[in-house]
Amino acid sequence: MSPSINHTNSERGYIIPIGGAEEKLHDPKILDRFVEICGGADARIAIIPTASELEDTGRNYEKLFRKLGIRHARVLPLLTREDCQSSEALDYIDAATGVFMTGGNQLRLSTTLGGTPVAQRIRRRNAEGMHVAGTSAGAAFMPEHMIAGGNEGSTPSPDMVTLAPGLGLTNSFIIDQHFRQRDRLGRLLTALAYNPFAVGIGLDEDTAAFIRPGDNLEVVGSGGITIIDPSELSYSSMDRARSGDPVSLIGVKLHIMVEGGRFEIDSREAFAE
């Protein structure tokens, strides 16, 4: 699934995956930056808490965004696929300057939103300039190929990751979250080894990738982002590895970037600041 085509003269919106556990009270720089690019006090934020099983998740973010100065922040209670056909929800997304997807279980997002009018509308509106952020499960759901689950560990193995179709806002990246905290290097490497086309983004907690139009990425937050670039992969044993076997990958580039760091997808270059 490729990103929606932009049929207007406007620039595509940002895609902002967050590694989870973002700071919400003392110095919420990630959420502050999201609010800023969405229009500040004039922003209109649609909050999608579908991934969460907690009833108050959406309302808590609604209160948080209002505390950050936004007058128009609204929870869209998309609990079923039928809800994702609601004209009220679609109208609000049409008027929104930003969408925020909460954490939880990314399969709840993909099975509920996938292929629905709401998913199609988010893709189209992002192409037209609306910004889309997601934390934890909401981050994993953003790209064409979604990491649905997997095992911890640093060495890739054929059965270490489960992939599923994602929202399709980008086909340039595969995204994993809670990266350093949950030792997820191996499963992101496994996902990339299946088809070394995309670039891997491993997001630490309280860390976000602000991906500008053109797939240029900037790091914001207190942790780091691991960038895995398989474009120069010269050898992989994935095709002959059996279940549980370690996989050899030679020629993979890995970058660790902290706040202010940048990565350009076209040139595959990383910059410290």
Give the pLDDT confidence score for residue 3 in this predicted structure. Answer: 81
Question: CA-to-CA distance for 19 and 179, rounded, in angstroms?
Answer: 7
Residue-level pLDDT at 4? 74
pLDDT of residue 273: 86
Please give the pLDDT value at position 1. Answer: 59
- Residues facing residue 17 across a β-bridge: 134
* 188-198 tens-digit pLDDT: 999 999 999 99
Which residues does the chain have with pLDDT short of 50? none
CA distances from 47 to 21, 36, 77, 90, 115 (A): 17, 16, 9, 13, 19
* Residue 5: both structure tokens together: 């085509």
Q: Which residues are catalytic?
A: 136, 178, 205
Q: What is residue 5's predicted lDDT score, i.e. its pLDDT?
A: 74
**Ordered structural domains, the chain, with CATH:** 15-260 (3.40.50.880)
